[in-house]
């Protein structure tokens, strides 16, 4: 009860809406196809992909909206989590691949590999894969952040080196000799936890799992930002030098937020892969990390709900726009970012919240003025009447 009050009603309303979607979407998909309320099969993984993106945007907002770190490398953490899940799914294929090798994935057989690399060992077990989903991006963020924050790299310089990091990883994962499928990546998945990945029930379960993960992400971010640590993170964002002079270590606060954010992005990537059916080095592309920033900016950074709304709105618009005029999507995305920066600097949710706050203040002010005017001292205050 104390924890619930600490988070506030807004967080729980967001969680309730997400969990309602976890029930409603699978229910509508399970209806008879002749029903007007039936949700097509293709929509379930599509919506699941949107929610995975929402979790990714929320992870970025933890560091950008709360502590002021503009990371242009969160696509790398997302992709690492996706590769960890993709490796598990590839091991589940077994002898059902094109070459029928019960141990080696098809791309390794094609490249004349004779044994499984050491970093693939154990990934045929889901608990090990789940651990790697968190450990791979978390460890990268911990090592990267340790050197960057100890060196007091901030601002645009930190953004540039995070973008350089994801670009370097993209080039590395394109190499066939690295053992991750080269430019083709990992695909042709069959099962997950023993269930056919292409079946309708599995897709509904994956969608529900994504909703639960997003709800947990909201609770985690809400708990952090509304705690004393969250206040310290805001202090580091607004006045890092003063925070340091007061005896705090801003680099430790940044490192904690950056690592937790990376692990959340890894979970988003792991939920994304089985729903889209592929993971390749293109997910490391710097433009993907820039898109994540746009999602958070459009929705409203630092608002908890804003990154979720921004990811859903932008990606739904992308699905529609790319079907009509795919060659112009990047221009539209850039124009959207510029327009939001100029005319909606608080984002959609931030602007609505600000407007609602202004209306409430005006209403309270009018009520106060009316109360004073109708009070017993009104006649004395206006003797001319």
What would the pLDDT profile of 214-230 be if each residue is shown by its tens digit? 999 999 999 999 999 99
DSSP state of 13: H
DSSP state of 38: P
Whether residue 384 is predicted with pLDDT greater than 60 in this model: the reply is no
Instruction: Give the pLDDT of residue 8.
Output: 79
What would the pLDDT profile of 1-20 be if each residue is shown by its tens digit? 445 556 778 899 999 999 99
Nearest to 61 by CA among 346, 252, 304, 341: 304
What would the pLDDT profile of 57-80 be if each residue is shown by its tens digit? 999 999 999 999 999 999 999 999
What percentage of the chain reaches a pLDDT higher than 70?
A: 95
Element (DSSP H or E) covering residue 187: strand 186-187
Q: Over the range 142-167, which residues count as b (16 or more CB within 10 Å of their CB) and which as e?
A: bebbeebbeeeebeeebbebbbebbb
What would the pLDDT profile of 246-255 be if each residue is shown by its tens digit? 999 999 999 9
Nearest to 218 by CA among 253, 254, 256, 267: 267
Query: How far, in Å, CA of 60 to CA of 289, rounded?
Result: 10
Instruction: Give the pLDDT of residue 205.
Output: 97
Neighbours of 77 (CB within 10 A): 33
pLDDT band at 38 (very low <50, low <70, confident <90, very high): very high
Instruction: Give the pLDDT of residue 72.
Output: 95
Mean residue pLDDT of the chain comes to 91
Query: What is the value of pTM for the model shown?
Result: 0.92
Please enumerate in sequence order all residues whose Cβ is within 8 A of that of 83, keeping only pairs 6 or more positions apart, or say none: 136, 173, 180, 186, 269, 279
What percentage of the chain reaches a pLDDT higher than 90?
A: 78
Please enumerate in sequence order all residues whose Cβ is within 8 A of that of 115, keeping only pairs 6 or more positions apart, or say none: 104
Instruction: Give the pLDDT of residue 368.
Output: 81
- Structure tokens of 133? 């989903």
* Region at 301 (left for phi over 0; alpha for psi -120 to 50; beta for the rest): beta
DSSP state of 303: S
Beta-bridge partner residues of 195? 192
Instruction: Judge whether 96 and 90 are in contact, CB under 8 Å.
Output: no
Q: Which stretches of 30-105 are DSSP H helices? A: 43-64, 74-91
Instruction: Give the pLDDT of residue 218.
Output: 96
DSSP state of 285: -
Please state the domain extents for the chain. 2-290
Instruction: Give the pLDDT of residue 370.
Output: 77
**Greatest CA span in the chain, whole angstroms?**
102
What would the pLDDT profile of 322-337 be if each residue is shown by its tens digit? 888 888 888 888 898 8
The arithmetic mean of pLDDT across residues 331-358, rounded, is 88
* For the chain, counts of helices (H) and of strands (E): 16, 4
Three-class DSSP category at 125: coil
Query: How far, in Å, CA of 278 to CA of 189, rounded?
Result: 8
* Region at 277 (left for phi over 0; alpha for psi -120 to 50; beta for the rest): left
Find the distance separating the first CA and the last CA of the chain, reported in whole Å: 55
């Amino acid at each position: 009860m104390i924890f619930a009050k600490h988070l506030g009603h807004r967080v729980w309303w967001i969680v309730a809406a997400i969990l309602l979607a976890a029930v409603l979407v699978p229910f509508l998909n399970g209806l008879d196809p002749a029903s007007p309320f039936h949700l097509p099969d293709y929509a379930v993984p599509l919506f699941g992909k949107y929610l995975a993106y929402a979790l990714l945007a929320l992870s970025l907002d933890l560091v950008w909206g709360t502590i002021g770190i503009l990371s242009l490398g969160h696509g790398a953490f997302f992709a690492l989590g996706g590769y960890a899940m993709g490796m598990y799914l590839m091991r589940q294929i077994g002898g059902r691949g094109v070459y029928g090798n019960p141990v080696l994935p098809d791309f390794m057989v094609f490249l004349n590999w004779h044994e499984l690399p050491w970093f693939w060992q154990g990934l045929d077990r889901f608990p090990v894969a789940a651990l790697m989903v968190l450990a791979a991006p978390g460890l990268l963020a911990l090592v990267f952040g340790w050197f960057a924050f100890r060196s007091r790299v901030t601002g645009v310089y930190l953004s540039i080196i995070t973008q350089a990091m994801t670009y370097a990883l993209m080039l590395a994962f394109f190499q066939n000799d690295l053992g991750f499928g080269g430019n083709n990546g990992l695909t042709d998945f069959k099962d997950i936890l023993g269930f056919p990945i292409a079946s309708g029930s599995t897709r509904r379960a994956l969608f529900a799992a994504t909703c639960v993960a997003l709800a947990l992400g909201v609770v985690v971010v809400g708990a952090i930002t509304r705690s004393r640590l969250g206040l310290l993170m805001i202090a580091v964002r607004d006045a890092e030098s003063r925070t340091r002079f007061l005896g705090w270590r801003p680099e430790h606060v940044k490192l904690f937020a950056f690592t937790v954010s990376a692990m959340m992005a890894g979970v988003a990537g792991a939920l994304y892969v089985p729903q889209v059916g592929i993971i390749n080095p293109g997910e490391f592309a710097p433009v993907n990390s820039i898109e994540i920033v746009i999602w958070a900016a459009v929705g409203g950074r630092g608002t908890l709900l804003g990154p979720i709304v921004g990811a859903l709105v932008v990606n739904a618009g992308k699905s529609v726009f790319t079907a009509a005029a795919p060659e112009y999507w990047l221009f539209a995305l850039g124009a959207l970012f510029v327009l939001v920066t100029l005319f909606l600097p608080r984002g959609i949710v931030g602007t609505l919240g600000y407007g609602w706050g202004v209306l409430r203040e005006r209403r309270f002010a009018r009520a106060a003025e009316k109360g004073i005017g109708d009070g017993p001292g009104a006649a004395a205050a206006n003797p001319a009447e």
